[in-house]
Amino acid sequence: MSLASRIGALAGRIGLEVKTKIDAGHPGLARAWVCFGFVGNQVVVRAAHNVASVTRLAAGRYRVTFANAMPDANYCWTALARSSTDRGTQRMAIVRSSTDQKTAQFVDISCATTSASFSDSFEINLTVYR
């Protein structure tokens, strides 16, 4: 058996083993994600997984509703916001207020400037792990 054949056989066995260990319920895989922004006075969802909707609650404040609820509210989320200009005020995704909610059905996120004022962004990316 040649070296290439042995490597191919080994890769096949590794693939079968990994397939039994990592499935859709693995905690290292995102349970939900969305790329959206506020463009032309409306929320535009560019791409998403397990997200039913994104609603603008106020300037720079959004509610992301999951298509399939999380098991509970003990999930981790991270988000990034793109600045609306090439220079000037940065944008960041934050939870800044005690009124921001995190439930099994949805999460509220905010986009703010570095001076902590709410501000929309044309691109916000959110990822949820559980």
What are the sequence ranges of the domains in the chain? 26-129
Q: Report yes or no: 76 and 127 within 8 Å, Cβ to Cβ.
A: no
Q: What is the sign of the dihedral through the CA atoms of 3, 7, 12 and 13?
A: positive
What pLDDT is recorded for position 82? Answer: 85
CB-based contacts of 37: which residues, under 8 Å, 6+ apart?
43, 44, 46, 82, 120, 121, 122, 123, 124
Per-residue pLDDT tens for 1-36?
788 888 888 888 887 877 676 666 777 789 999 999
d(CA 50, CA 60): 22
Per-residue pLDDT tens for 86-121?
666 678 777 666 778 999 999 999 988 877 788 899
